[in-house]
Amino acid sequence: MEDFRIDKRVAIVTGASRGIGRAISERLAKDGRHVVLVARSVEGLSATEATIKSAGGSCEVRVCDMADGAAVTALVEGVAETHGRLDILVNNAGITRDTLLLRMTDEQWDEVMAVNLRAVFMACRAALRPMMRGKFGRIVNLGSVSGISGNPGQANYAAAKAALGGFTKTIAKEMGAKGITANVIAPGFIETEMTDALGDVVKAAVLPNIPAKRFGQPAEIAAVVAFATSDEAAYMTAQVIVVDGGMAA
């Protein structure tokens, strides 16, 4: 285990191997957090780990299948036990199984709910006790503009992301007096592998609907998460913060 200062905030970031999750991990490490990088495979996290450590940051790698509820609970409890604390939880991991509702199978619905909603519930529940002991906690759940405005072909994904709003606000109200905040960050179209897979035709159709006239960058989402998880954000809780270039306004 890599040494780190005892006063350094310990953060878990799920889905840390690429895109937004990788950018969040690198930013939190840059800001002095000890970041626990989580994904389904060690190989997927090696680049994130190398970048953080080469810049002098502190991190470690843990493997977890977010569809496995027991594994998610064990992950969070294990981090808290190892370090004697857990300060920050960023639930970023997510999957899509896109198709029109008429064609959507039970399995496609259940797979998305298991990773995008149930895993968030399991992780948050496990994180609350160590956060309460430390009298400090920052929970950020990554939503989506799809959960606000809906999106054709994403009934499962939009439903899961919309549910995060009510779920997270409930955490905020239950934990508000205990030094724990909970917020949702809802990105719009961000330049990642996921949006690259949409193809040029789809991206060209989307772009005119974004007032900023461009897709966002992962680092721009990471900057918002960095503030939401900071000590200075103690009075910001129960919010759904949309970062989409004005598209859903």
- Region for residue 108 given its phi and psi (left: phi exceeds 0; alpha: psi -120 to 50; beta: otherwise): alpha
- Give per-residue pLDDT as tens, 147-190: 999 999 999 999 999 999 999 999 999 999 999 999 999 999 99
Residue 1 pLDDT class (50, 70, 90 cuts): very low
- Determine what percent of the chain is predicted with pLDDT higher than 90: 89
Buried b (16+ CB within 10 A) or exposed e, 193-209: eebeeeeeeeeeeeeee
- Residue 161: CB partners within 8 Å, gap ≥ 6? 116, 143, 144, 146, 147, 186
Residue 123 one-letter amino acid: A
Per annotation, catalytic residue among 61, 157, 171, 183: 157
What does the pLDDT read at residue 7? 60
Question: Fold for domain 10-243?
Answer: Rossmann fold (3.40.50)
d(CA 72, CA 119): 7
pTM: 0.95
Q: Give the torsion sign (CA, 171, 72, 70, 84).
A: negative
- Give per-residue pLDDT as tens, 31-49: 999 999 999 999 989 999 9
235 is catalytic: no
Query: Of the candidates 139, 205, 197, 206, which has an alpha carbon nearest to the alpha carbon of residue 173?
Result: 139
Mean pLDDT of 52-67: 98
